[in-house]
Amino acid sequence: MMTFSKIRSSIIESGFRILKVDQWGVKTVNEVSSFGDDSHPISNMTALYADTSETGEPVIIGYINKNQLADVGEKRIYSLKEDGSISTFIWLKNDGKIELGGNNDNAIRYQKLDDSLQSQKTLINAELLKIQTAIAGLGGAYAKIDISINTSSAKINEIKTL
């Protein structure tokens, strides 16, 4: 039989998340989830409690999602603050876009931006040489100092794109 229950608290014991739930009284139950999913529910979430064929081995097999926004074919992963409000998210949109925590700004293709900036640096340094030559030709002095660009501190190695 499956029933709804309320999450009260949880601990991790021997690699398993053990939940305390209210289901006609307080009970301790294991959590079952998809492979690779390590999520920690907040208090008072409504969970689906199910008995198993092993007496005394009930499990929580899912939660009622009150934050559904994904459209057909989309996937959204999010985290919640303890008060239940959205903390952050990754949203795989059905138009091929990915939103990481929002959609107000753009990520960049680092290598293409760096290549473009290095090309601009070369062109600017060539123009500075022309300026130096022209000033010297008029009897003046101009000490040309090449500009340099280092974008390596802006590169995020942990996130890769196409």
Domain hosting 128: range is 110-154
pLDDT of residue 131: 95
Same domain, 21 and 53: yes
pLDDT classification of 47: cutoffs 50, 70, 90: confident
The enclosing domain of 6 has a CATH number of 2.40.50
Give dist(CA 16, CA 154) in Å, integer. 39
In a domain, 160, yes or no: no
Same domain (yes/no): 143, 118: yes
Structure pTM? 0.65
Residue 127 sits at the vertex; the CA angle it makes with 124 and 132, to the nearest 5 degrees, is 125
CA distance 72 to 97: 14
Q: What is the pLDDT of residue 30?
A: 76
Residue 43 falls inside a structural domain: yes
Note whether residue 159 is domain-resident.
no
100 forms beta bridges with: 90
Query: Domains in the chain: how many in total?
Result: 3
Q: What is the pLDDT of residues 89-148, one digit of tens each?
A: 999 999 999 999 998 888 888 999 999 999 999 999 999 999 999 999 999 999 999 999
